[in-house]
Amino acid sequence: MAVAIALHIDGMTCGLCAKHVRQALEEVPGVRSASVSYPQRQAAVEANLGATVDLTSLIAAVSALGYRAQLAETLGQPSDLLNKAQERLGGEAKCEGNEAALHVAVIGSGGAAMAAALKAIEQGARVTLIERSTLGGTCVNVGCVPSKIMIRAAHIAHMRRTSPFDGGIAAASPRILREHLLAQQQGRVDQLRFAKYEGILASTPAITVLRGDARFKNAHTLIVATADGDTREVSFDRCLIATGASPATPPIPGLKDTPFWTSTEALVSDTVPERLAVIGSSVVAVELAQAFARLGSKVTILARRTLFVREDPAIGDAVTNVFRTEGIEVLDHTQASQVAFVEGEFVLTTESGQLCADRLLVAIGRTPNTRSLNLGAAGVVVNARDAITIDHTMRTTAPHIYAAGDCTDQPQFVYVAAAAGTRAAINMTGGDAALDLTAMPAVVFTDPQVATVGYSEADAHEAGIETDSRTLALENVPRALVNFDTRGFIKLVVEAATGRLIGVQTVASEAGELIQTAAVAIRARMTARELADQLFPYLTMVEGLKIAAQTFTRDVKLLSCCAG
């Protein structure tokens, strides 16, 4: 004959939670079997007659997974045994007539972390946010914000030096005062960091900020080496890992012994080097290469294959042509086999000979900041790139630990990170939210800009989708014509069987402004014909989407300039 113990369990969000709780309870000594109901938030534990099953051990087993348990008959009443168990686990005791707020630990303070922390307190949780460095993470401090300011300044310098209207507006070679530009840039960074991070945290009492370096002690506890040299333990009900990523360094012999730049150092340099070599061929490499070139550097890019090799080949070709026209040297299929720093200059050895530069920027991608977290102690799995593996709800392989942002296997964009952080907080507090990335727009802030959303032709074919596509040259877009800037194209990819739009790739001066319309069209499952029938304001770049859609059924060269 067995003795049954009934438990009430809070915090389960799905049937998988119930399965994990059942398995944990059945591992407690003396337990014969357990059954768990997620909808009823109940567990029934059977112990063999004569066996001693410690209630504290049952509660501890559930709490170790991030859920909260108490005897069913004590629900809503204070329990000395329950309080003692939670105190031993580092959690909060129940208050008379109230349930302690769910405690969420957030590691990091960037876009994903802040979005999650704010949503979690909105959902009634209390949050401990742990940051080892500057509040705000990569985007506002050393990423999106300072880079776009620098790129904009470089664009202004370029337009003063040369434009399609030089025949009627006298051009002038601008004097670049980099130290003044840097002061302006950092001033705006400081302003935004305070407004969007420091100020919000200081005025939100439900979020406790702990400055220090966190690592997991076990699946339910963090050890934080604080900034003052002390060590603290932080127990949690749920945890979000949002530690971001750092610039990657390739294993080129000699490189680590040189004072090379990553994007971090390049963005805070108060000088513009006379000669700049760039190793890399994707977003950060090309954005900063063009910015420095327009501020006065002689720039050479070493691309292991071609620019934007993972995108539609037309994108890399278009950007390469623009760069070469501007005097940027693009060396395709070129790698450095050795790097040295000799008498104040960098010497790069390649298969084509030696390349010398005053500065070297290495921008080959970013590596997730996960190695110091001791993730194994918490049962959190990473992939071969050290990125945390998560599901569509942002849950890791540990059921009560979530992750979001650049430290995960999701695309490394701050808007993806913020969206993931918000959804993770909803799920940590009992909700059910997923992140759908099927129509995720992406923008590269070169001039002209690069923007993509959905499938490229190659991606679609790899997924087994038969496609039809059209590419529209920008001399067919009135906005580009009146700008006297027809560099680039708009390409639409449709599903052949249905005509439904599934992807857009574009290189254009305002590509970043038009790509969201394409994303909405894909999300709405519009066909190319339906897109072509929409009203678009005349003399806008986004009108190019309509014209590109019209090319599936007619010759747009035979249409009037604003034909519907």
pLDDT tens per residue, range 391-402? 999 999 999 999
- Report whether pLDDT(81) > 60: no
The pLDDT of residue 409 is 97
Residue 182 is assigned to a structural domain of this protein? no
Residue 554 and residue 486 in one domain: yes
CATH number of the domain enclosing 243: 3.50.50.60
Residue 278 near residue 363, CB atoms below 8 Å: yes
Mode of pairing for the β-strands spanning 366-368 and 449-454: unpaired
The pLDDT of residue 508 is 98
Is 356 an annotated catalytic residue? no
* The model's pTM: 0.83
Average model confidence (pLDDT) for the chain? 92
Catalytic hit among 17, 239, 428, 541: 17
Mean pLDDT calculated for residue range 378-395: 97
Residue 161, SS3? helix
Residue 422 and residue 465 in one domain: no
Catalytic hit among 14, 38, 159, 415: 14
Catalytic hit among 95, 356, 538, 562: 562
Give, in order, the Cα–Cα distances in Å from 395 to each of 127, 381, 385, 402: 18, 11, 18, 4
> Residue 101 — very low, low, confident or very high, per pLDDT cuts 50/70/90?
confident
Is 415 an annotated catalytic residue? no
Residue 458 is assigned to a structural domain of this protein? yes
Is 538 an annotated catalytic residue? no
Catalytic hit among 67, 197, 402, 455: 67
Mean pLDDT calculated for residue range 90-99: 38
Residue 242 and residue 379 in one domain: yes
Residue 323 is assigned to a structural domain of this protein? yes
Residue 148 is assigned to a structural domain of this protein? no
Q: What share of the chain is helix, strand, coil (3-state, %, to 5)?
A: 35, 25, 40
Residue 455 is assigned to a structural domain of this protein? yes
- Report whether pLDDT(1) > 70: no
Residue 317 and residue 396 in one domain: no
Residue 349 is assigned to a structural domain of this protein? yes
Domain that holds residue 324: 255-364
Residues 6+ positions from 243 with CB-CB distance below 8 Å: 107, 108, 368, 369, 370, 373, 405, 407
Number of domain units in the chain: 4
Residue 449 is assigned to a structural domain of this protein? yes
Catalytic hit among 95, 197, 428, 561: 561
Residue 147 is assigned to a structural domain of this protein? no
Residue 214 and residue 328 in one domain: no
- Report whether pLDDT(58) > 90: no
Mean pLDDT calculated for residue range 523-535: 97
Residue 414 and residue 479 in one domain: no
Residue 222 and residue 205 in one domain: yes
Distance CA(282)–CA(371), nearest Å, equals 25
Is 407 an annotated catalytic residue? no
Catalytic hit among 12, 114, 150, 239: 12
Distance CA(411)–CA(350), nearest Å, equals 31
Catalytic hit among 38, 144, 159, 415: 144
Catalytic hit among 114, 139, 407, 428: 139
Where does a domain end: 343, 364, 385?
364
- How many other C-beta atoms lie within 10 A of the C-beta of residue 352? 10
- Strands in 221-226's sheet, in edge-to-edge order, are 231-235, 221-226, 207-218, 126-131, 103-107, 238-241, 401-403
- Report whether pLDDT(68) > 90: no
Residue 234 and residue 261 in one domain: no
Is 144 an annotated catalytic residue? yes
Residue 111 and residue 193 in one domain: yes
Is 159 an annotated catalytic residue? no
Residue 452 and residue 530 in one domain: yes
